[in-house]
């Protein structure tokens, strides 16, 4: 193999300098790690020596990956990439992928605001102390290190096992890190190649870990920010801000820049974070769905999982469309978003005396108490209803309140467009795409966001009243909102297109109107014309729910340092709840209907119960390999994910759904009977006895054997088998049905949702 590799590269050496100069771009090259000729001391030497030989410039090799991925990122033209694909040493050559960001009272809402006493059998003091040894790595837009959320007062010395560092930059001194923010790095070569053609060129963006966007500071402080008293966004949501694991350490890896997050940079960040020694990896970003061997985040996360690192990723903001999920690998915790029991009401009083309620975070002087003229879709521009830049004619808008349809451009930008055209207020009205979901924004002018039903009434009023008027007013911060949580309409939905037999998302967490730390280099709207500065901001997205779960995983890791990532994941899933604070089933903000596991997964996380789940569904690396082998991938594809040459797929599941997953997704297809086995591990008391309770649709019979599990010892494992039988007369076009399996005793309820589908097609 080594001789063949040398011959092949020698051939390339002769061929490639002769190729005409073509446009270059970044490619990620997946290598057969184990075919490195012995003449090269390191894989980096192997990659760089040959790339420099076959390229006319010396800046071709961007990154060498050794841990999260086996291979490298390089600047190549299409012919060079094609020649690389012909090598036996190369498993794959892929164009760099652009991923996007999936852009307070939360701890109290989650039952975390207890500074003394017992927490599911753990004293708060012990848990805080144990959390000091847990390191949360966040891959995002960097960090604003001066934020009070990263104050290290009272924190002990940094764990000696930590191998990370604080990188300096033109706007970032290494001294800005401390015992709380223990690492800060940046990775920008993929971004530079995409935006300028060479990573050697100076960028307008400073190459440092400093956060110029705000997103990374928000997510990292949500996961593990320190306590900050009197936090608010310009007076809204005033209170103590804190992360989920306020005593854990934070390490940031800046992989996202002005144009997004490139796969080559994300991989480099994951590669480094694993070596640095993080315990949790949090990624509030994603792309579309693709096979796991083509998914750089999934491949990097596999190595992290194997090394005991919990990986939490956002599900995406492409809801309420079905099958819109990102980050669906079973070794990743896929997190959807729900609402909090806090709201920011605002009101629109129309000239017909009707008063409608919406939401807003506007903090200026307001409109006063005199109604003004209301306009909608006026003028010659066909896109004026959307308030796109340049679409509003000042003569129709000046001094008036404008109704803008939600969609296409950013919500806050619409307000900026209205203000620029001379408007003095805005009613942002949902259309069918957003339904009844309301997201509050820190608008630049008096503005209120309303749902589709109210929006339709307002639009009808404007179009049919001879002199329509409106007055907008604001209600501040309101707590104990009912019902809550509600699944956010934007939260991406199942089913899982990559592996329909794995139910995704896994859980939901708080992701709407979340207050957390912010970058002071940018206003709360992120718009250029927004000159306001705030140390905190309120944001929405699965980007916000993901770090909640990352922080909770850090708490569970502190309480149970010997638990695997799969055990932590199982604990969070099987203890999640599916009823809101009115004791009704969770609802969907998109249309007010009942939610289901394709939207909320196992339910909304409940940290107190997750600390003591009773039983867990554990999954080993070998189990994941058997799962991958059941997907009809080539052996090379499996090896590319697992990164081991000796994988033979001698053990594989007859069905991917055989994986010991804490939830079930049953796809009948041409079969009437689907049978899965599961194994539970006792992490509760010795001598625990559990009995099963099953719910399901009338057209499916569910049988569990045995119906009673006895665990004599802690750590003992017991198996059960569940058989799903679809009735003969069941309509095969039935879109979906749902059920659950619960193992329960007086102390614990270990619940698994079930999704049923009769075809693999999405209707």
Q: Which residues are catalytic?
A: 140, 215, 543
CA distance 226 to 708: 44
Among 676, 695, 675, residue whose Cα is nearest residue 737 = 695
CA distance 345 to 267: 42
Structural contact between residues 491 and 319, judged by C-beta atoms closer than 8 angstroms:
yes
Q: Which helix (DSSP H) or strand (DSSP E) does residue 600 occupy? A: helix 597-600
**Residue 655: strand, helix, or coil:** coil
Structural contact between residues 340 and 512, judged by C-beta atoms closer than 8 angstroms:
yes
CA distance 586 to 230: 32
CA distance 113 to 546: 19
The alpha carbons of the chain give a radius of gyration, in whole angstroms, of 27
- Alpha-carbon distance values, 47 to 10, 65, 189, 191 (Å): 13, 10, 17, 21
Q: DSSP state, 35?
A: G
E-only strand ranges, 546-657: 615-616
**Residue 658: strand, helix, or coil:** helix
Which of 358-389 are b and which e, b meaning 16 or more Cβ less than 10 Å from the residue's Cβ?
bbbbbbeeebeeebbbbbbbbeeeeebbbbbe
Q: Which helix (DSSP H) or strand (DSSP E) does residue 357 occupy? A: strand 355-359
Among 563, 69, 490, 66, residue whose Cα is nearest residue 310 = 563
Structural contact between residues 508 and 337, judged by C-beta atoms closer than 8 angstroms:
yes
CA distance 704 to 724: 9
CA distance 739 to 757: 12
Angle (CA) 477 482 484, round 5° = 95
Show the tokens assigned to 206: 């400073």
């Amino acid at each position: 193999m080594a001789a063949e590799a040398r011959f092949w590269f020698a051939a390339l050496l002769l061929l490639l300098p002769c190729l005409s100069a073509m446009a270059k771009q970044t490619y990620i090259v997946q290598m057969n790690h184990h075919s490195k000729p012995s003449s090269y001391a390191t894989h980096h030497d192997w990659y760089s020596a040959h790339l420099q030989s076959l390229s006319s410039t010396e800046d071709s090799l961007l990154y060498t990956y050794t841990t999260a991925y086996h291979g490298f990122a390089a600047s190549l033209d299409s012919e060079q990439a094609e020649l690389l694909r012909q090598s036996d040493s190369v498993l794959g050559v892929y164009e760099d992928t652009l991923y996007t960001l999936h852009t307070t009272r939360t701890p109290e809402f989650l039952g975390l605001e207890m500074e003394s006493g017992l927490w599911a059998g753990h004293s708060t003091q012990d848990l805080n102390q144990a959390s000091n040894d847990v390191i949360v790595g966040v891959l995002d837009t960097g960090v604003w290190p001066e934020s009070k959320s990263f104050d290290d007062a009272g924190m002990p010395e940094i764990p000696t096992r930590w191998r990370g560092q604080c990188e300096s930059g033109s706007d970032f001194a290494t001294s800005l890190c401390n015992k709380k923010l223990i690492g800060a790095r940046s990775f920008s070569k993929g971004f530079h190649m995409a935006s300028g053609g060479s990573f050697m060129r100076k960028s307008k963006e400073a190459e440092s870990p400093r956060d110029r966007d705000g997103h990374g500071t928000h997510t990292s402080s949500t996961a593990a920010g320190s306590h900050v008293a009197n936090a608010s966004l310009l007076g809204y949501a005033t209170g103590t801000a804190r992360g989920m694991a306020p005593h854990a350490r934070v390490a940031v890896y800046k992989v996202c820049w002005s144009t997004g997050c490139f796969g080559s940079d994300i991989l480099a960040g994951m590669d480094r974070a694993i070596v640095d020694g993080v315990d949790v990896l949090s990624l509030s970003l994603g792309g579309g769905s693709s096979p796991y061997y083509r998914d750089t985040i999934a491949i990097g996360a596999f190595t992290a999982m194997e090394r005991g690192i919990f990986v939490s990723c956002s599900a995406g903001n492409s809801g309420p469309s079905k099958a819109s999920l990102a980050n669906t690998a079973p070794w990743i915790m896929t997190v959807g978003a729900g609402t909090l029991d806090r709201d920011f009401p605002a009101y629109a009083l129309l000239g017909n005396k009707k008063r409608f309620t919406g939401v807003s975070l506007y903090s200026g002087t307001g409109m006063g108490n005199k109604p003004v003229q209301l306009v909608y879709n006026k003028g010659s521009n066909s896109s004026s209803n959307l308030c796109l830049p340049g679409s509003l004619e000042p003569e129709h808008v000046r001094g008036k309140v404008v109704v803008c349809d939600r969609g296409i451009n950013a919500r806050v930008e619409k307000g900026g467009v209205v203000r620029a055209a001379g408007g003095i207020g805005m009613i942002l009205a949902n259309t069918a795409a957003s339904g009844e979901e309301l997201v509050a924004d820190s608008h630049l002018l008096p503005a209120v966001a309303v749902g589709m039903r109210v929006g339709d009434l307002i639009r009808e009023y404007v179009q049919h009243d001879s002199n329509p008027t409106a007055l907008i007013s604001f209600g501040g911060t309101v707590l104990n909102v009912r019902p809550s949580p509600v699944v956010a309409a934007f939260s991406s939905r199942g089913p899982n297109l990559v592996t329909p037999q794995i139910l995704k998302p896994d859980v939901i967490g708080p992701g709407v109107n979340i207050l957390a730390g912010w970058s002071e280099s940018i206003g709360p709207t992120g718009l250029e014309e927004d000159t306001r500065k705030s140390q905190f901001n309120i944001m929405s997205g699965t980007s916000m729910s993901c770090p909640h779960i990352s922080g909770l995983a850090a708490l569970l890791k502190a309480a149970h340092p010997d638990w695997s990532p799969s055990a932590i994941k199982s604990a969070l899933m099987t203890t999640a709840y599916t009823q809101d604070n009115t004791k009704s089933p969770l609802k969907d903000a998109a249309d007010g209907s009942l939610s289901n596991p394709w939207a909320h997964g196992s339910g909304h996380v409940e940290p107190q119960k997750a600390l003591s789940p009773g039983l867990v569904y554990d999954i080993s690396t070998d189990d994941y390999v058997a799962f991958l082998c059941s997907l009809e991938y080539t052996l090379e594809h499996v090896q590319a994910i697992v990164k081991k040459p000796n994988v033979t797929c001698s053990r594989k599941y007859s069905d991917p759904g055989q994986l010991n997953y804490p939830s079930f997704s049953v796809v009948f297809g041409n079969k009437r009977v689907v049978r899965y086995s599961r194994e539970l591990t006792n992490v509760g008391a010795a001598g625990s006895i559990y009995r099963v309770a099953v719910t399901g649709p009338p057209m499916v019979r569910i049988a569990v054997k045995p119906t009673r599990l006895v665990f004599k010892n802690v750590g003992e494992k017991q198996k059960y088998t569940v058989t799903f039988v679809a009735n003969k007369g069941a309509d095969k076009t039935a879109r979906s049905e749902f059920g659950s399996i619960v193992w329960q005793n007086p102390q614990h309820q270990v619940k698994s949702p079930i999704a049923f589908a009769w075809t693999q097609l999405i209707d």
